[in-house]
Amino acid sequence: MRDPQKMSKRLPSPILLTLAVVLLALPFHGNTLQTSTNPERPILLHIKQHFSNPTLLSHWTSSALDHCNWPEVTCVDGSVTGIRLVDLKLNQTLPPFMCDLRSLTLVDLNHNFFSGPFPISLYNCSNLQFLDLSFNFFNGSIPADINSLSPQLKVFNLSANSFAGCIPPAIGALQQLKELRLAMSFFSSASFPPEIGDLLNLQVLDLNDNPFSPQPIPSSFTNLNKLRNLWIRNSNLVGEIPENLFSNTTTPALEYLDLSGNGLSGNIPSGMFLMKNLTTVYLTANRLSGHIPQAVEAFNLNWIDLSNNSLTGEIPQGFGKLTKLEGLFLFMNQLTGEIPGSIGRLPALGDVRLFMNNLSGKIPPEFGRFSKLQRLDVSTNNLVGSLPEGLCDNKVLESFIAFQNNLTGEIPKSLGDCSDSLISFRVEKNQLSGRIPDGLWTARNLEKLMVSDNLFIGELPAEKVGPNLSLVEMGNNRFSGEIPAGVSSWSNLVSFKAGYNLFSGGIPNELTVLEQLSVLWVDGNQLSGSFPSEIISWKSLTSLKCNGNHLSGEIPSALGRLLNLNELDLSGNQFSGEIPPEIGRHLRLTSLNLSSNNLSGAIPAELENAAFDKSFLNNSGLCSTNPSSFGLSRNCSKEKSQKADAGFVRVIAILVSTAAALVVVAILSIVFVAGRKSNDKRRQEGPSPDWKITPFHKLSFTESNIVSNLTESNVMGRGASGIVYQVALVGALHSRGCEKVAVKRIWNCKSLEREFEAEVKILGTIRHYNIVKLLCGMSSSDCKLLVYEFMEKRSLDLWIHAKRRSSNWAGSPPTAYHYEVLQWPTRLRIAIGTAQGLCYMHHSCSPPIVHRDVKSSNVLLDSEFNAKLADFGLARLLLKHGEANTTLSSVAAGSFGYIAPGQSLPPSPSP
């Protein structure tokens, strides 16, 4: 048994217990005391309050134990050294007291909504080493005393803001800078200072995508011998690349070079491909010429892009030593010679694009065997021989493009092994023969199969094809057989061009199941029978060519209900019956050819205009109210009149015995009275001008309806070329769903007569939903008028500048129009509509038409804000070389104070 006295001596006294508790509590209590008295936390909370207490900073509270644990805050030894407030949607100004955090070395505020001038309060951050204000909305000029920032600054990023003016030369005084990023900051009409070359510690320089004034690369850049990344893409550089700038002596550390999208000329520096650390070179889209340097020792290169220049000579054999090379882009140059086989043996090579050169010889058989080749494009060259067998040995080939060469032989069956990877296969315009391998048809990821203009044979697959196949072009070959019913399984097919082959049989009804079909060309085959009954399901169809076959029956009226159809060619068949009136009412139909069939009846009134003057030739049964304009011999009006006369004669013969005398007397009386009234009216009104009307659509008004309304009260506006009137035709056009027209009266002068002729010549021959409809032209000895469809919302110019221009408009629209801001969906609809109109003029008209005065006042808007191009008085037809153009001007064109940008370019339409 233990001694109680000894046990009592071992137990701690109450004093010792209390002391132990106090000692244990001291560290925690001490930390709390330190945190509560730290002067930096109130500054951080004040910063949060300045930014209106954003939700994403809700954890910044006075009750939090340690602000150094906040994810946006960095501390060293308990002092705040960094603040990262990235992508928090902050839109206030920077707090001027931020630099009260005396130990602050890092400020990162990128991807917010800060605006206003550069925050010079940051000058007070004396220890700042890292400053990132990129992707905000700061504006104005960068301060001339920018060197007042901390002399310790190493990283300075102002990219993607809205600065203007010059980059101040004082930036060269920030001697510790290692990274300077000023990309996409819109330094318009200014240059970057050569003092940047004084930043001897600079490793990264990013001046990409700035509209600088044209300037050469400063020679001072040769001082930047620590430079690793140089990015000056799309920044208006001109002149030659300094020969001594890129070498192992001046810039030995350089790894990444991007000078693409400038106006650089001359040769590529001879030492560029000798730089030991160089990994990436982008010189695309310049004006470089001469040979590619043959000396190659930059063995770390993984990407070379010299495309879209004027380089000549051969591809360097030394490129075949670049074992790390992944991408080689040399397209759109003037390179000659053969493709080095050693390039095909590079183990890392994945993307090779050599199209649009003058290369000859064979495609090296090494391609695809030694590397995981994904894309190979050698199109538009002079290559011969067969396709390499090993292109898909590694089964990762995604795209093979070799169109427009002189290739022969068959498509290797091994290409069918790419069923899991191949997306695009293009070999059109060669001399290839044989059959298409089954593996290509069934490749599960294949989207584009384009083999037109070759010597291929065989039939379309009766079974399913690859589920993603959307574009098939196989025209001008020797394919035969029927279009199989299994075509219904081609569920994603968007475009099928199979013209000028030997296909026979009918157009299967199963083809109408393909609701995504947009283009169907089966012209120049041996198809027969009638159209399938369910073509109304082709809701997306824009172009249908079935000409040059043996199709018969009536033209389906459903074609007129395909709202997206703008091109229809059924010529050279055996169609009979009348032209469905629905086709005449089709607003978007811009190209129509029904010639050389057995059609009969009258041409729909809506189609009787100059745009379709060649659309109905060689149809002996057709008639027109103006047959000579359409190459026809039958006059509908005359035939109708003759039939009416014959009936009238029969009636008279029956009634003549009882009422002849009364009828004759009545007719003579009416004629006499009407003649008296007509003569009296002519004497009162005086002589009327001899108007000549040139209609382009069926008109339901006369010249008097138009001329009588050309009054001052109907003036909509005045311009350099004439006056525009708003004319209300009460009931005259009601059947067409229109009650108003716009009439432009051209001023009397020689130059404006040419504009009148140009407007009539162009708008009278084209029809497009996004081009304003010219109803007719009217001219007399002293006046010329153009009558258009009325655009209820007027011009885009009025909507953009309504507030400051509304007072200048005669006959202004309702006040609500002046102040309503166009919403983004409406703006997008207007932009797309304008682009569609221009695209039609440039690419679908023959010859192409260039507007030459595209501006907001020449973009008109209908009641639903659909855009329509107008005012073609300055337009030009792009005739082929040698064709005369006596009517349309070919000199620089534009409105007063404005010349379209395209006028400074050669005579070829922009896309």
Q: Where in the sequence numbering do the catalytic residues fall?
A: 853
Residue 79 structure tokens: 């002092």
Distance separating alpha carbons of residues 625 and 637, to the nearest angstrom: 6
Cβ atoms of 245 and 283 closer than 8 Å: no
Query: For residues 409 and 799, what is the distance between their CA atoms, to the nearest angstrom?
Result: 60
Using alpha carbons, select from 521, 530, 519, 606 the residue that is nearest to residue 564: 519
Q: What are the residues whose beta carbons fall under 8 Å from the beta carbon of 667, sequence distance 6 or more?
A: none
For residues 211 and 188, the answer to whether their CB atoms sit within 8 Å is yes
List the strands of the sheet with 162-164, edge to edge.
115-116, 137-141, 162-164
Dihedral angle, C-alpha 813, 818, 824, 825, nearest 10 °: -20
Point out which residues pair with 495 in neighbouring strands.
Answer: 471, 519
Nearest to 589 by CA among 557, 571, 565, 609: 565
Q: Report whether 160 contacts 207 (CB < 8 A).
A: no
Name the token pair of 671: 């004629």
- Give the integer Cα–Cα distance in Å for 68 and 505: 80
Helix, strand or coil for residue 68? helix
Rounded to an integer, what distance in angstroms lies between the CA atom of residue 383 and that of residue 432? Answer: 12
Contact 595, 616 (CB under 8 A): yes
Could you give the CA distance from residue 759 to residue 376 in angstroms, rounded to a whole number?
47
Determine the Cα–Cα distance for residues 553 and 599; give it in Å rounded to an integer.
10
Read off the tokens for 198.
């004084």
Pairing of strands 574-577, 591-593: unpaired
- Cα–Cα distances (Å) from 752 to 504, 742, 788, 854, in that order, read 55, 18, 18, 18
Could you tell me where the beta strands, DSSP code E, fall in 396-454? 399-401, 406-410, 424-426, 431-434, 448-450
- Is-cis flag, bond preceding 847, omega within 30? yes
